[in-house]
Chains A and B, each alone.
Chain A
Amino acid sequence: MVTSTLALNRLAADGARLTVDLPLEAGTLEWHGHTRIAAPGLLRAFSLAPAGHSKAVPTHIFPGGRVETFRRRGYDLRLYEAVDRSNSCLIWAGPYHEVTTWFNGPAPRQSVLNALVAAVEFADGPEGAKITPRVQVGTQQFGTTVFGINDRVLIMALDARSARESLPDWQGMTRGDMEVWKDALALDPEQKAALAGTPFEWRYTFASPTAVFTVIFPKDGTEVGALGDPQDHAMVEAVLGGVRVEWAA
Chain B
Amino acid sequence: MSLPLALSLLSLLIAIFAVIAVAAVYSRLRALEQTALNPDTDRLADEDRTLPATLLPGPGQRATLAMLLDGGCGICQGVWESLQAADLPGVRLVGVTGDAGAAAAFAKGVVLADPDLWTALYEGYAPSLTVIDGTGAVLARRFVYGDTEISTLLSELLPTGSSHAL
Write the residues of chain A forming the contact surface with B, with a CB cutoff of 8 angstroms: 51-52, 70-75, 77, 79, 94-96, 110-115, 117-118, 124-125
Contacts and interface: CB of A to CB of B under 8 A. Distances in A.
Contact of B39 (A72, A96, A115, A124): A115
B143 interface: yes
B149 interface: no
Give the size range of B's interface with the partner.
10 to 19
B101 interface: no
Interface stretch (B6-14, B45-53, B75-83): B45-53
Contact of A71 (B42, B46, B124, B145): B46
Contacts of B138: 71
A96 B143 CA distance: 9
Nearest to B139: A71
Nearest to B144: A95
Contacts of A112: 39
Given A71-B141, A95-B128, A118 B123 contact: no
A55 B123 CA distance: 21
Q: Which of B39, B40, B45, B140 has the most CB of A within 10 A?
A: B39
B40 A111 contact: yes
B108 interface: no
Question: Secondary structure at chain A's binding surface: helix, strand, loop or mixed?
Answer: mixed
B69 to A, nearest CB: 15
Which 6 A-B residue pairings sit nearest by Cβ, starting from the closest? A95-B125, A118-B42, A115-B39, A74-B123, A95-B143, A113-B44
A125 B124 contact: yes
Nearest to A125: B124
B163 interface: no
B123 A73 contact: yes
B44 A110 contact: yes
B124 A95 contact: yes
Contacts of A94: 124-125
23 contacts: A52-B145, A70-B44, A71-B138, A71-B140, A72-B47, A73-B47, A73-B49, A73-B123, A74-B123, A75-B123, A77-B44, A94-B125, A95-B123, A95-B124, A95-B128, A96-B125, A111-B39, A112-B39, A114-B39, A114-B40, A114-B44, A115-B39, A117-B43
